[in-house]
Chain A
Amino acid sequence: MKQLSQNIKRMPVDTWNRAGVNRSEIKLYSVEDAGDANKKFTNFECRHNLERNFNEFNPDKKNDDFFMNDEVRKFIDENKNHCRYFRIPKNHIENNPVIIEFNIKQDSYLIDDIIIEAEEGSSCTFIVKYSSEEGKNIHHSGRIRVFAGRNSDVKVIRAQLMDNQASHNDIISGIEEDRAHIHVILAEIGAAKTMSSCNIVLNGKESSADVDILYMGDGTRSVDISARVEHKGKNSLSNIRARGVLSGQSRKILRDTIDFISGSGGSKGREEENVLMLDPGVMNLSVPILLCGEDDVEGEHAASSGRPDDKLMFYMMSRGISENEAKKILVEAAFSAILNGVPDISLQDEILKVLKKSIE
Chain B
Amino acid sequence: MEKQKTYLEDINRDIYDFKDEDTNNYKTNTGLTPEIVKEISQKKNEPDWMLNLRLKSLEIYEKTPLPSWGPSLKELDMNQIVTYVKPNTDMKSDWNEVPSYIKDTFERLGIPQAERDSLAGVGAQYDSEVVYHNIKESLLKQGVVYTDMETAVNDYEDIVKKLFMKLIPPTDHKFNALHGAVWSGGSFVYVPEGVRLDIPLQSYFRLNAPGAGQFEHTLIVVEKGAKLHFIEGCSAPKYNMLNLHAGCVELYIAEGATLRYSTIENWSKNMMNLNSKRALVEKNGTIEWISGTFGSHVTMLYPTSILKGEGSKSEYTGISFASKGQNLDTGTKVIHAAPNTSSTVNSRSIAKNGGVSVYRSSVDIRPEAVDSKSSIICESLMMDNSSRTDTIPVMDIRNNRVDIGHEAKIGRISDEAVFYLMTRGIREEEAKAMIVRGFAEPVAKELPLEYAVEMNRLINLELEGTIG
Q: Using CB atoms and an 8 Å cutoff, list the residues of chain A in contact with chain B.
A: 13-17, 19-22, 246, 260, 262-263, 275, 277-307
Contacts and interface: CB of A to CB of B under 8 A. Distances in A.
Given A294-B385, A302-B406, A288 B400 contact: no
B334 to A, nearest CB: 13
Nearest to A287: B394
Contact of B400 (A282, A286, A290, A302): A282
Contacts of A305: 395, 397, 402, 404
B337 to A, nearest CB: 15
Chain B contact residues (Cβ within 8 angstroms of A): what range? 35 or more
B397 A285 contact: yes
B169 to A, nearest CB: 14
Contacts of B400: 246, 277-280, 282, 306-307
A262 B402 contact: no
Nearest to B362: A19
Given A277-B397, A295-B382, A288 B468 contact: no
Nearest to A308: B400
B390 A304 contact: no
Interface stretch (B32-40, B208-216, B409-417, B422-430): B409-417
A29 B61 CA distance: 41
Contact of A296 (B395, B396, B468): B468
Interface of B: 3, 5, 68-70, 360, 362, 367, 370, 380, 382-385, 387-412, 414, 468
A305 B373 CA distance: 10
Nearest to A295: B382
B391 A303 contact: no
A262 to B, nearest CB: 5
Given A285-B395, A285-B397, A295 B385 contact: yes
Contacts of A291: 388, 390-391
Contacts of B69: 13-17, 22
A304 B387 contact: no
Given A280-B367, A281-B367, A302-B406, 4 more contacts: A17-B68, A290-B391, A295-B383, A304-B406
Nearest to B400: A277
A304 B388 contact: no
Nearest to A262: B385
A292 B396 contact: no
Contacts of B410: 260, 290, 292, 297-300
A284 B401 contact: no
Given A17-B68, A277-B400, A288 B393 contact: yes
Given A15-B360, A17-B69, A289 B391 contact: yes
A-B CB proximity, top 7 nearest: A277-B400, A14-B69, A299-B410, A295-B382, A298-B411, A301-B408, A284-B397
A346 B354 CA distance: 53
Given A302-B406, A306-B404, A289 B390 contact: yes
Residue from A283, A284, A290 having most chain B Cβ neighbours under 10 A = A290
Nearest to B405: A304
A153 to B, nearest CB: 27
A21 B69 CA distance: 12
B333 to A, nearest CB: 8
Contacts of B394: 15-16, 19, 21, 285-287
13 contacts: A14-B70, A275-B397, A277-B402, A281-B367, A282-B398, A282-B400, A283-B397, A285-B396, A289-B391, A293-B387, A295-B384, A303-B395, A306-B404
A204 to B, nearest CB: 20
Contacts of A307: 400-402
Contact of B380 (A19, A21, A262, A292): A292
A79 B363 CA distance: 41
A294 B382 contact: yes
A161 B411 CA distance: 39
A297 B411 contact: yes
A280 B393 contact: no
A283 B398 CA distance: 5
A292 B390 contact: yes
Contact of B395 (A22, A260, A286, A297): A286
